[in-house]
Amino acid sequence: MLSQEPVEWPDQVEALVERLESEAPERALSREERALMDVYETVPILESEDCLHEFWQSEINQQRVISSFDLIGAAALVDSLNASRWCGSCSPDRNDYSETEAEYLATIEEDLPSGMEELIDLVLAFIESELE
């Protein structure tokens, strides 16, 4: 991904995620709690060098994760994830992309930093309205 500062979650988010991780084996998380966990767990993938390609090649439930980003209001990230959906049917090696595919993916990834910048505020607002 384009260079940017990594997302540094506020203590409030870290504490809630830690609590949910400890409770998850004992009870089913609510949809809102699962959405928070999906977003939290997916951010490192989106911050990685192969970000969107890695997202689509990973074993996570991509549709659920996209729905989770949508639920918290991260429309810019949802748009980027949906626009890159075709990566899921591509070679596992990003170096195998055609020049056109590589350029298109790079164009989509240019929008990620702005979406990531607003993520902390969106997550905090989501926690306040849905989880407290």
pLDDT in tens, the chain (132 residues): 445 678 999 999 999 999 999 999 999 999 999 999 999 999 999 999 899 999 999 999 999 999 999 999 999 999 999 999 999 998 889 899 999 999 999 999 998 998 999 999 999 999 999 987
Contact 38, 68 (CB under 8 A): yes
Gap between the Cα atoms of 120 and 7, Å rounded: 8
Domain positions in the chain: 29-131
Contact 38, 65 (CB under 8 A): yes
pTM for the full model?
A: 0.92
